[in-house]
Amino acid sequence: MCGRYASIKAPADLADEFRAVDATSGVEPDYNVAPTKNIVAVVQRRPRDADGTPDPDEVERSLRVVKWGLVPSWAKDPKAGARMINARSESAAEKPAFRKALNARRCLIPADGWYEWQRGPEHKQPYYTHYADGASLAMAGLWEFWKPKDDPEGKYPDGLVTAAVLTTAAVGALAQVHDRMPLVLPPSAWDAWLDIDADAAGVAELLVPPTPELVASLELRPVSALVNSVRNNGPELLAEMAPEDVAEPLQLDLLAGPNPQ
């Protein structure tokens, strides 16, 4: 699964990296992104005129602020989103909450790295995974628009845009920490994933675990339990723990399989 990640880069830098227009405002670095927070997503849509009519000949890629936790368009209560932060890539096409978004509302969710917890008999050790060269990870995501049928108190005048992170089977040493991981897409797959005209078969080809080449470019390191609390939020969360403080160190070959039982 993916339940915490770091999003540190400035939107202007992300816009350059993802070849997108920055449509965000007031976004601050977040070292401990948690469910229900506002996050940055890369979306691709047809621009609309003043009357709301989409241009059939143009597409625009932009950075948008969305809420983490997908609320299906048919949901009666937006609280449902707190339970839908992740969607399994193997079954999203079959799930009522995700299948429409998978077909028409795919996005990329930039991250500097993500956290996962290795559960041991007497401990829960957090690990931080990121590209060794500092490039942004592009987690495959789905987004949805929700607006209540009745809103007498005017809580949602513009509706609510939410998103979920797709997950897949963990690969190599990542499986030593947890059996699931975010579906990380290489830059070569970004255009295809965001293509609003892509067919189901083309999308399905992207819903696979990362390649050995991508996994080899990742760095995995143990970090302190400070990340366990959403109240903690700073660069100290990314600091690597001393080897002697890690209860059950991993095999540091990212292409290796899980530890033997």
Bridge pairing between strands 218-222 and 86-88: unpaired
Q: Which of 2, 17, 122, 144 is catalytic?
A: 2
Closest CA to 90 of 167, 177, 162: 167
**116 belongs to the catalytic site:** yes
Angle at 95 between CA 93 and CA 99, to 5 degrees: 45
Bridge pairing between strands 160-169 and 86-88: parallel
**Residues pairing with 150 in the sheet:** none
Q: Which alpha helices (H) appear in 57-131, and where do they start and end? A: 99-104
- Tell me the CB-side half-sphere exposure of residue 6, using CA atoms within 13 A: 26
Closest CA to 136 of 258, 2, 16: 16
CA separation, residue 33 to residues 209, 219, 232, 239 (Å): 23, 19, 10, 16
Which two tokens mark 179? 């059996």
Q: Which of 17, 58, 90, 116 is catalytic?
A: 116
**107 belongs to the catalytic site:** no
CA separation, residue 67 to residues 112, 147, 233 (Å): 18, 14, 18
**Active-site residue list:** 2, 116
